[in-house]
Amino acid sequence: MTIELLMPRPMLPIVQEQLDARYTVHRLYEAEDPDAMLAEIGPKVRGIAMAFGPVNTALLSKLPNAEIVSSFGVGYDHINTDDCLAAQVMVTHTPDVLTEEVADTALGLMLMTVREFGQAERWLRQGNWEAKGPYPLTQATLQGRTLGIFGLGRIGKAIAKRAEAFGMRIHYHGRSKQDDIAYPYHASLTGLATACDTLMVVAPGGTATHHAVNADVLEALGPTGIVINIGRGTVIDEAALIAALENGKIYGAGLDVFEAEPHVPPALLVLPRVTVLPHVGSASQATRNAMGQLVVDNLNAWFETGKAVTPVPEMN
């Protein structure tokens, strides 16, 4: 009898092939009637392999023998860990293997935003260089900027290392001061924004950080302020961000993540000093494969030894 798994949505070939070789995988996305499929196979499912959710009591109640959710990605705000703990279901994620890739993306996004490289490239491609002359000088520069990192964790620290090499001063905010970190700590996000002109959001999503970057924080950042979001869309109040950009309360924004992905508010797209990316922080083949391998490794370790490789902190 092979162990039965649920796969709610398609995953990378590296994941599908390895899981197919070892388990019976029920692909919910292929079912004509997903509810009927869940009713039929739900009690047999012992593991879930997935990229995004939601995972909560509503789903777990249909999977009474589920033991583990192996999630693709380091952020797991789509998973209700309280519900999983109550149902005695292990939750794993894919930290570390994507840290450097996401930090690279964050730096690229910051440079694109400050120096308007996307807009400058469009200027060239649209024939404006030849027809009208050089792209206008950017009114912002990275030189002399102070970077405030909201969420100085694995990725935040990798961003800080890179930003230091670019000559930026670094400050940070999190729930607590880190004793081994020399960068100035700010107990409040508004305090961080006041001390900085560039705000790097790399904190997790979820209720605790929902709309943490609000109108007051943006006002504190000031008219030369630039916000970069490589964390989660829900951490920024998107309506407040649009208003702050429209009213000149801040200067610009670079966004890899959005509140209601893949929807991006049209009001953002018409703003001149906004750079947008379609959630590509970790999106190289090599890094995504490493994340996928960790999804597989967690399932294999769990069913072989009863221990997961990379459980989310709430499971410890």
Provide the binding-site residues for ligand 8YV, judged by CB under 6 A.
51-52, 72-75, 98, 279, 281-282
Q: In what order do the strands lie in the sheet with 90-92?
A: 24-27, 4-7, 45-50, 68-71, 90-92
Record the tokens describing residue 160, joined without a space: 């800080």
Integer Cα distance of 312 and 84 in angstroms: 11
Q: According to the binding rule CB under 6 A, does residue 292 interact with ligand NAP?
A: no
261 is catalytic: yes
The reply on whether position 202 binds ligand NAP by CB under 6 A is: yes
Binding partner of 115, given ligand 8YV, ligand NAP, none, CB within 5-8 angstroms per partner class: none
Candidate list 2, 88, 143, 176; residue touching ligand NAP; CB under 6 A = 176
One residue of 231, 233, 254, 292 binding ligand NAP per CB under 6 A: 231
Other C-beta atoms closer than 10 Å to the C-beta of 74 total 23
The partner in contact with residue 203, picked from ligand 8YV, ligand NAP, none with C-beta cut-offs of 5 to 8 angstroms by kind, is ligand NAP
Q: Taking the complex as a whole, how short is the minimal distance between the CB of residue 282 and ligand 8YV, in angstroms? A: 3
From the list ligand 8YV, ligand NAP, none, partner contacted by residue 52 (C-beta under 5 to 8 A by kind)? ligand 8YV
Is residue 281 close enough to count as binding ligand NAP by CB under 6 A? yes
Single out the residue of 198, 282, 287, 298 in contact with ligand NAP (rule: CB under 6 A). Answer: 282
Shortest reach from residue 266's CB to ligand 8YV, in Å: 23
Binding mask 83-112 for ligand NAP (x = CB under 6 A): ------------x--x---x----------
| One of 184, 222, 279, 284 touching ligand NAP (CB under 6 A) | 279
Candidates 14-22, 116-124, 163-171, 202-210; binding stretch for ligand NAP (CB under 6 A): 202-210
Could you give the dihedral angle defined by the CA atoms of residues 23, 29, 35 and 39, in that order, rounded to the nearest 10 degrees?
Answer: -10
**26 interface partner picked from ligand NAP, ligand 8YV, none, CB below 5 to 8 A per type:** none
| Contact between 174 and ligand NAP per CB under 6 A | yes
Question: Is residue 154 at the binding interface for ligand NAP, with CB under 6 A as the rule?
Answer: yes
Output 52 or 123, the one with its CB closest to ligand 8YV. Answer: 52
160 near ligand NAP, judged by CB under 6 A: no
Selected range binding ligand NAP among 32-40, 53-61, 150-158, 292-300, rule: CB under 6 A: 150-158
47 binds ligand NAP (CB under 6 A): no
| Cβ atoms of 156 and 202 closer than 8 Å | yes
Distance of CA 24 to the CA centre of its chain: 30
Q: Where along the sequence are the contacts to ligand NAP (CB under 6 A)?
A: 74-75, 95, 98, 102, 151-156, 174-176, 202-205, 208-209, 230-232, 256-257, 279, 281-282
* Residues labelled as active-site residues: 232, 261, 279
